[in-house]
Structure 1
Amino acid sequence: MKRRDFAIGLGAALGAAPALALTRRPPGDSNPPDWATGPGRGDFSSARSAWAGAAEAKSPLGQTDALLVVQDGKLVFERYGEQCGPAVRHVSWSMAKSITHALVGIAVAEGKVDIDRPLKTIPRADPKLTLRSLITLTDGLEWKEGDYSPANSDAARMLYGPGRFDCAAFAGDRAQAHPPGTRWNYSTGAFVLAAAELQANLFPEAHAPGARRAAMASWIDAKLFKPLGMTSALAEFDAAGTFAGGSLVYANARDFARFGELYRLDGVWRGRRILPPGWVKFARAPTVQPIYGAGFWLEAKATNDPPSLMAGAGPMDAFSAEGHNGQVILIVPSKSLVLVRLGLMDDGDAAWKTLGAWITPIVSALPDTKAA
């Protein structure tokens, strides 16, 4: 079973800017220096050793572009590879699914959507098919994420083939293979549909692709990126103006860490509630698949198949946004910790196992947060 989506070349396929792994920001467009810095609590020798190993020419992790650790809201560890740096945007790949979860939550808080109502955007849809089932990947629609070859993958056909001009229409044309809520199946199409449903509820009068794109981009910026100070963040859209909510947001490592901090802090940022009460708990509640909640991957016992990121060897309260080629935003509330790793590695199960084993000692070496 494939766990992460593949979207290399998506920008070009959708008629947008080429989807490069790293994009440099315009001169002068620098990240505001508003991260508190300073020494962290605990032993960071594991982090230093992990970074040294990742920087080796033949590292099993491939290319590691960034490793950041935020502890107690302070940026306490920050390293970059030769092609990266604090002002370099990196593609999210499937970490965008977690961002889509946040956007749906914001719309819920504003009373713009109800995640348990039937969908507007799929004609003749099962009335039990809802935003809830889409963002928990229990939609039951016939979908084969596959190996991302055009012959074996609905995702590839949606992103690069006949579906590329209107990804939501392609994903919405799937048969209802199972009753919604009964089976878990990894699907980039589900999050594209969630993004389309969100846009239909937020901007029912916007029909032209340009109008849909402009309205949604402005809303994402105003409601999520600007409040968090994610000044580098950019959302990508397809030719029909639908947000590529399953795979494509660009941001620098510090801004991805800001997003992780929002979830560590239960949806509150600097005293302002961004996500509705209970929304982070919803993200962390296991579905019929113990390693997945709503838009986020969860830790599970070592015996779980497939394994979680740290395979039961790390804190069990950890949860993460994960993307193709080893993109990770790991959130560990018990340690007041957010870890960001960005890079370019193989996407097979063995590589993800290696990445989890690389991350686990970094996290385990740091102490739990003492109760007040």
Structure 2
Amino acid sequence: MCKGLSLFLLLICFTVQAEPWPGEQWPIGPKITGPAVEALERYAFPSRDDSTRQGVRTDALLIVRDGQIIYERYAGPTTEQTPHLTWSISKSLMATVLGVAYGEGLFKLENPAVQFYPPLEKHSTIKIADLLHWASGIDWQEDYEYAPLKSSVVAMLYTRGHQDMAAFSADHAAYAEPGQAFRYSSGDSNLLAAALKNIVGAQRYPDYPWTALFEPLDIRHAVWETDAAGTFVASSYAYLTARDLARVGLLMARDGRWKDRQLLPKDWVAFNRQPFSGYKAHQDEAVPGGQWWLNRPADGAASPWPDAPPDTFAALGHWGQALYVIPSEKLVIVRYGDDRDGSYRHNELLKHVLKAVQP
């Protein structure tokens, strides 16, 4: 592969080849053992009662260090071959797919979103960057079990909005100027999925997540549902095995590079990992980046995950789904769960993992 290159490029090429990368199968590194691993398992895999669904209920825990699997365990009905529902991790996946289109030069962050999704006409000043920051200014209520009758997301996914989720989202009124305020919104994410259809073209769109992202990463078993309008449900309905989701984490950990290919532009990954300037800190909440979550202090508040390095970032989903990336530790962690009572804590798992991987 490196034959015929200049000395400088040869050094780069051999460095890339020396790094462990998954092909069809993942490289397996030295498995971690010892008391810290036992403590991690006591936290992540307590005995579970499926009749009550109480407590921490981990379905999968996968730890990758420097491109090699060093820990893997499954519980419940989930196995190594199970494409698990990722819930809102799908938002970060859509951002990654959009990053490939960005690298093709098909759009810019400052483009008005209405340019690619005309039903946003009454919100014509929203930019693509605003949607990526969950800062569209669209009045959206992201409630599930707590206030289902007032919930925009429940209506979008299950009742009057489920046929065309982007159109339902665009039909909401505004509460703020775009780009000025953060309000977490599955509607914003589904508007991005609808915009992607015109960004890449209707002919490419149905296969685009696969041709752009999944196939280059050797992800073979991904499922991504669409609504009746044929738009990917970017907010909620992508399914991946833990091993396949870890490939996305490794891509992000290595600044968008996959083997010898820069699949995502570095400035796109930097945008994903840059805190939204309009965010007002809330205690114990991760800071929003570009459809990813960051372990960064905001407004003088403490880091949301104080036992993890400040460069930690994550894709997070309902009921305990998580993809954590810690570049400084060369770690990618996938945690799938079925948590229903809010007892799971990101910082607690990260603290245990970091202790378990220490030599």
* TM-score clears 0.5: yes
* C-alpha contact 2:36 2:355 (8 A) present in aligned 1: no
Partner of 2:288: 292
Shift of 1:57: 2.0
Q: Which amino acid aligns with 2:149?
A: A
Partner of 2:321: 327
1:151 correspondence with 2:142:
no
Shift of 1:355: 4.1
Structure 1 residue corresponding to 2:45, chosen from 43, 50, 55: 55
Matches within 5 A, 1:237-316: 237-287=226-276, 288-289=278-279, 291-301=287-297, 308=304, 310=305, 312-316=306-310
* C-alpha contact 1:228 1:258 (8 A) present in aligned 2: yes
Partner of 1:74: 68
Structure 2 residue corresponding to 1:96, chosen from 90, 94, 100: 90
Q: TM-score, normalised by structure 1?
A: 0.80
* C-alpha contact 1:150 1:161 (8 A) present in aligned 2: no
Q: Matched residues in 1 for 2:173 and 2:69: separation?
A: 47
Partner of 1:172: 170
Shift of 1:69: 0.5
Structure 2 residue corresponding to 1:197, chosen from 195, 198, 219: 195
Structure 1 residue corresponding to 2:137, chosen from 135, 140, 153: 140
Q: Matched residues in 2 for 1:46 and 1:89: separation?
A: 29
Cα shift readout 1:66-119 (whole Å, capped 9, x = no counterpart): 111000111111111142211111001000010011111111111222221112
Cα pair distance change 1:304/1:255, threshold 3 Å: farther
* C-alpha contact 2:296 2:311 (8 A) present in aligned 1: no
Structure 2 residue corresponding to 1:361, chosen from 332, 352, 358: 352
Cα shift readout 1:146-180 (whole Å, capped 9, x = no counterpart): 24544120000111111010001000011121111
Cα pair distance change 1:174/1:347, threshold 3 Å: farther
Cα pair distance change 1:265/1:298, threshold 3 Å: same
Q: Which amino acid aligns with 2:127?
A: T
Partner of 1:12: none
Q: Matched residues in 2 for 1:193 and 1:302: separation?
A: 27
Cα pair distance change 1:153/1:306, threshold 3 Å: farther
* C-alpha contact 2:163 2:229 (8 A) present in aligned 1: yes
Unaligned runs of 5+ in 2: 1-21, 282-286
Cα pair distance change 1:305/1:156, threshold 3 Å: farther
* C-alpha contact 2:39 2:352 (8 A) present in aligned 1: no
Q: Matched residues in 1 for 2:266 and 2:23: separation?
A: 28
Q: Matched residues in 1 for 2:24 and 2:101: separation?
A: 29
Give the total of aligned pairs.
Answer: 323
Shift of 1:306: 9.7
Q: Secondary structure at the match of 1:102?
A: helix
Q: Matched residues in 1 for 2:48 and 2:301: separation?
A: 29
* C-alpha contact 1:54 1:61 (8 A) present in aligned 2: no
Structure exhibiting the larger radius of gyration computed from Cα positions: 2
Shift of 1:123: 4.0
Cα shift readout 1:256-313 (whole Å, capped 9, x = no counterpart): 11110010010011111111121111111011226110111111349977973x2x22
Q: TM-score, normalised by structure 2?
A: 0.83
Q: Matched residues in 1 for 2:131 and 2:179: separation?
A: 9
* RMSD (Å), alpha carbons: 2.4
Shift of 1:33: 5.0
Shift of 1:363: 2.0
Cα pair distance change 1:123/1:133, threshold 3 Å: closer
Cα pair distance change 1:111/1:302, threshold 3 Å: closer
1:341 correspondence with 2:324:
no
Q: Matched residues in 1 for 2:152 and 2:29: separation?
A: 46
* C-alpha contact 2:56 2:339 (8 A) present in aligned 1: yes
Shift of 1:201: 1.9
* C-alpha contact 1:94 1:246 (8 A) present in aligned 2: yes
Unaligned runs of 5+ in 1: 1-30
Q: Matched residues in 2 for 1:293 and 1:43: separation?
A: 34
Partner of 2:80: 86
Q: Matched residues in 2 for 1:116 and 1:237: separation?
A: 27
Q: Matched residues in 2 for 1:258 and 1:70: separation?
A: 10
Cα pair distance change 1:110/1:152, threshold 3 Å: same
Q: Which amino acid aligns with 1:217?
A: P
Q: Matched residues in 2 for 1:339 and 1:74: separation?
A: 11
Partner of 1:130: 127
Structure 2 residue corresponding to 1:227, chosen from 216, 219, 242: 216
